[in-house]
Amino acid sequence: MSATNQHWHLKTFDELTNQELYGILQLRTEVFVVEQTCVFQDMDGKDDQDCQHVFCEIDGKVIACARFFPPGVMYQEAALGRICTSPAHRGTGLGKELMNRSIAEMERFFPNQPIRIGAQTYLNEFYKSFGFVNVSDVYLEDGIEHVEMVKTP
């Protein structure tokens, strides 16, 4: 995958085009519902609530995305979630780039603020590599083991 084909975006809900929103929701459904065989309501009414969407497209197709919120919306801390990459583009460094870009934007929007994620436990080491530490016991969310993690500034 050539980095020159990638187009990265940071947009609010109102700034997203219909095609971009559809692509984000399609990718999240592909990963969180179909791939993980988890029936849950992905469209949770929070995508438009003071939320920023970070996403990458190649040829108009969304291949990676995440969303983040300011402190006090999801958690006391700033929140990062719905982090996913297309199965077809895994192993290319795209997930690391998505995390690095998301964290950088969050630090720009919310300087010196901790960041909290609800991480699927199988990705624990991946998130630790970005400075996140476990702050909760393992819990089930939609039948999948998760743990709360926080990255301090």
User: What CATH number corresponds to the domain at position 62?
Assistant: 3.40.630.30
Sequence letter at residue 76: Q
Regions of the chain where pLDDT drops below 70: 1-4, 34, 37-38, 40-42
What pLDDT shows up at residue 88?
94
The domain total for the chain is 1
Domain span including residue 114: 3-151
Q: Could you give the CA distance from residue 51 to residue 84 in angstroms, rounded to a whole number?
A: 16
Helix (H, G, I), strand (E, B), or coil: what is residue 65? strand
pTM, to two decimals: 0.90
Helix (H, G, I), strand (E, B), or coil: what is residue 104? helix
Secondary structure percentages of the chain, helix, strand, coil, to 5: 35, 35, 35
pLDDT, tens digit, 9 for 90 and up, residues 58-99: 999 999 999 999 999 999 999 999 999 999 999 999 999 999
Sequence letter at residue 114: P
